[in-house]
A and B are shown apart, each in its own frame.
Chain A
Amino acid sequence: MHVRQLSGAPAAKVVTALPLRVRGLRVRAGGRELLRGIDVDFPAGQVTAVVGPTGCGKTTLLRALNRLHDDSTGLQVSGSVELAGADIYRDLGLREVRRRIGMLFQRPNPFPQSIQENVVIGARVHGLTGRSGARELAEARLREVGLWDAVKDRLGGNPYRLSGGQQQLLCLARALAVQPDVLLLDEPTSSLDPWATAQIEQLIRDLRERVTVVIVSHNLSQVARVADQVLFMVAGERVEVADVQAFFRHPSDPRTRRYVAGEAMTLPAMEERN
Chain B
Amino acid sequence: MRRTAADLGFWAACWLALALVVGPAAWIVIGLVRKTWPVLSVDLLLKTTAQGGLQNALFGTLVLAAGVLILAAPIGIGAGVYMAEFASQRQASLFRFVSEVLAGIPSIVVGYAGYELLAIALGWGYSLLGGILALTALVVPYVVKSTEAALQQVPTSLREGAAALGLPRWLMLWKVLLPPALPGVLTGLVVALAISTGETAPLLYTANFSDANPPVQLLHHPVGYLTYVVYDYVQLPSARAHQLANAAATFTLFLLLLLIVLSRLLAARARRRTEQMGL
Which A residues fall within an 8 A CB radius of B? 66, 68, 71, 73, 94-99, 102-103, 105, 107, 109-113, 117, 121-122, 125-126, 160, 164, 171, 174-175, 178
Contact = CB atoms under 8 A, between A and B. Distances in A.
A97 B164 CA distance: 9
A160 B160 contact: no
Contacts of A105: 157, 160-161, 164
A68 B161 CA distance: 10
Contacts of B161: 105, 109-111, 171
Interface stretch (B58-66, B173-181, B260-268): B173-181
A103 B161 CA distance: 8
Contacts of A68: 160, 163-164
A178 B171 CA distance: 16
Given A73-B89, A109-B158, A112-B180, A103 B164 contact: yes
Contact of A160 (B159, B167, B276): B276
B163 A121 contact: no
B165 A107 contact: no
Interface of A is mostly: helix
Given A109-B161, A160-B276, A160-B278, A99 B166 contact: yes
B254 to A, nearest CB: 35
Contact of A98 (B166, B175, B277): B166
6 contacts: A71-B163, A109-B155, A109-B161, A111-B162, A164-B278, A175-B164
B215 interface: no
Interface string B92-119: 0000000000000000000000000000
Contacts of B166: 94-99, 122, 125-126, 178
Contact of B279 (A71, A94, A107): A107
A66 B162 CA distance: 13
A112 B179 contact: yes
Counting chain B residues whose Cβ lies within 8 A of the other chain, the interface size class is 20 to 34
B168 interface: yes
Contact of A111 (B89, B158, B273, B278): B158
B92 to A, nearest CB: 12
A157 to B, nearest CB: 13
A107 B162 contact: no
Interface of B: 89, 155, 157-168, 171, 175-176, 179-180, 273, 276-279
A121 B167 contact: yes
A203 B165 CA distance: 19
B277 A160 contact: yes
Q: Is the interface of B mostly helix, strand, loop or mixed?
A: helix
Taking each of A97, A105, A112, which has the highest tally of chain B beta carbons within 10 Å of its own beta carbon?
A112
B252 to A, nearest CB: 37
B163 A98 contact: yes
A86 to B, nearest CB: 16
Nearest to B278: A160
Given A98-B165, A171-B161, 12 more contacts: A68-B160, A68-B164, A95-B168, A102-B164, A107-B279, A109-B157, A112-B176, A113-B175, A121-B171, A122-B166, A122-B167, A125-B171
Given A107-B279, A113-B175, A98 B158 contact: no
A268 B179 CA distance: 47
A178 B165 contact: yes
A205 B167 CA distance: 27
Contact of A125 (B158, B160, B167, B276): B167
B200 to A, nearest CB: 41
A111 B175 contact: yes
Contact of A122 (B165, B180, B277): B165
7 closest A-B pairs by CB: A98-B166, A103-B164, A112-B179, A109-B161, A109-B157, A122-B165, A95-B166
Nearest to A95: B166
Contact of A175 (B89, B155, B165, B277): B165
A112 B179 CA distance: 7
B65 to A, nearest CB: 30
A164 B278 CA distance: 9
Given A112-B180, A160-B276, A102 B160 contact: no
B165 A109 contact: no
A111 B164 contact: no
B206 to A, nearest CB: 41
A171 B279 CA distance: 14
A120 B256 CA distance: 44
B165 A174 contact: yes
Contacts of A122: 165-167
A113 B160 contact: no
A98 B164 contact: yes
Contacts of A175: 164-165
Q: Which of A68, A96, A109, A122 has the most CB of B within 10 A?
A: A109
A178 B164 CA distance: 11
Nearest to B159: A71
A98 B162 CA distance: 10
B165 A113 contact: no
A71 B155 CA distance: 15
